[in-house]
Structure 1
Amino acid sequence: MKTTIYKGIEFFLIFVLVPLSFTISYSTLIKIIIGVLGFSYIVYVLLNVEKKKIEIATNLNWKRFWKETFLKFAIIIVFTTLFVWITDTELLFNVLINKPKLWMAILIIYSILSVYPQELIYRTFFFQRYQSLIKNEKFFLILNAVAFSLGHIFFNNLLVLVLTFLGGLLFASTFKRTNSTLLVSIEHAIYGCWLFTVGMGNMLGFPS
């Protein structure tokens, strides 16, 4: 399970074939089973093959993290707010204003049940398994962002692919610097929750 050939096949199946297969119309139950089995495999490999401990580090540079995250977040706020205001003003903060309880519930569920598993897959597992195979760091970060974007191809939306690619670059850079699933999950949750809040949730599968 640690050979280059095995990892190459593993990469293709998990990060290319499975996402592409989800664009095909077939049983939702089967897709869920594939997703659960895939995630179970990833957790098994992390814990039993890579001997990776899933724990909260205590020596994190929180001050630098928050400073950099909020700087990026401020830029995201400006561009996304302008985008929604220009393209469809009625969507701007629509769920927050009209359905605050739903808004709060989705933020909590999304942050716990969606963001953290995604970061285990696309950052913790991806970096642990494939970083040693690719010596060019910039190419590796781009590859990670492409894989993250491809994981959202089932939305069938070009803007979603662009946003997730850019987000993938940000998250990969954060994980590369901090090696922390916790920090990159917090960053991911902040940006994702904001997109839902500002009115871009529909295209990303958030209920509204």
Structure 2
Amino acid sequence: MQSIRYRLIEFFVIFVLVPTSFALEFNIWIKMAIGCLGFVYVVYVLLKVENNKFKIRQHINWKQFWMRTAIKLISISMLTAIYMYIFDVENLFVVIKNKRMIWALILFIYTIFSVYPQELIYRTFFFQRYESLFRNDALFILVNAALFSLAHLFFKNTLVMVLTFIGGILFALTFKKTKSTLLVSIEHAIYGCWLFTVGMGEMLGFPS
């Protein structure tokens, strides 16, 4: 285990400096290179330093997980549908009504290539590397959610920042309870796919 000083520098670079820099205007290929290098570093640390085996946890309470997720999804669905009906009714369910093949393709790509890497970085890596540095669990959850929201700063959209902060709290709580990257990725995918389905995908970077 590296020193606390090393982990604090690592924390600042990965979760503050890099996401903030992505909000600046510079070459997209450089941004992609930085992102790929960062992800490779995260996987390396998880495997070689934290000795993570990337195995599905045993004794997962699937029934409880699906019940909790369903309750949260119902609440999220109602609130976002009402928001779209009031403020952007033209885009309410626009993609699934007009471009179902694109809708299905985007959901697949988003789940595999966006959700899982995010959860690997912001929950698995973040919890294993930094949870021991915080004495207060609530503060740790809030910091995790705030940094997850900061990762979406490049969208330059206040609503996106609010939604990802709330999502960050939900995902952090799920990971805190289950310690399962699989479960938190499933939950993340479900909520993200719903936002795209209800018509909020464009502001979250989904092509529509």
Interval containing the TM-score (normalised by the shorter chain): over 0.9
Match of 2:178 in 1: 178
1:36-75 alignment to 2 at 5 Å? 36-75=36-75
1:1-208 alignment to 2 at 5 Å? 2-208=2-208
For the residues of structure 2 that align with 1:168 and 1:76, how far apart are their CA atoms? 14
Give RMSD over aligned pairs: 0.6
Q: How far apart are 1:58 and its partner, in Å?
A: 2.9
For the residues of structure 2 that align with 1:135 and 1:81, how far apart are their CA atoms? 38
Using the size of structure 1 for normalisation, the TM-score is 0.99
For the residues of structure 1 that align with 2:122 and 2:149, how far apart are their CA atoms? 10
Q: How far apart are 1:108 and its partner, in Å?
A: 0.5
When structure 1 is superposed on structure 2, of 48-57 and 103-112 the one drifting more is 48-57
For the residues of structure 2 that align with 1:56 and 1:96, how far apart are their CA atoms? 32
For the residues of structure 1 that align with 2:58 and 2:97, how far apart are their CA atoms? 38
SS of residue in 2 equivalent to 1:199? helix
For the residues of structure 1 that align with 2:189 and 2:198, how far apart are their CA atoms? 14
Using the size of structure 2 for normalisation, the TM-score is 0.99
Q: Which amino acid aligns with 2:200?
A: M
Structure 2 portions without partners, runs of 5+:
none
Q: Which amino acid aligns with 1:92?
A: L
Q: Which amino acid aligns with 1:136?
A: N
SS of residue in 1 equivalent to 2:200? coil
Number of residue pairs matched by the alignment: 208
For the residues of structure 2 that align with 1:103 and 1:26, how far apart are their CA atoms? 30
Q: How far apart are 1:56 and its partner, in Å?
A: 1.3
For the residues of structure 2 that align with 1:97 and 1:46, how far apart are their CA atoms? 42
Q: Which amino acid aligns with 1:46?
A: L
For the residues of structure 2 that align with 1:111 and 1:117, how far apart are their CA atoms? 9
For the residues of structure 2 that align with 1:53 and 1:173, how far apart are their CA atoms? 22
Q: Which amino acid aligns with 1:77?
A: S
For the residues of structure 2 that align with 1:88 and 1:35, how far apart are their CA atoms? 33
Q: How far apart are 1:88 and its partner, in Å?
A: 1.1
For the residues of structure 2 that align with 1:193 and 1:6, how far apart are their CA atoms? 36
Per-residue CA deviations over 1:93-150 (Å, capped at 9, x if unaligned) read 0000000000000000000000000000000000000000101000000000001000
For the residues of structure 2 that align with 1:99 and 1:81, how far apart are their CA atoms? 19
SS of residue in 1 equivalent to 2:203? helix
Q: Which amino acid aligns with 1:97?
A: K
Q: How far apart are 1:57 and its partner, in Å?
A: 1.8
Per-residue CA deviations over 1:9-64 (Å, capped at 9, x if unaligned) read 00000000000101111110000000000000000000001111111123100000
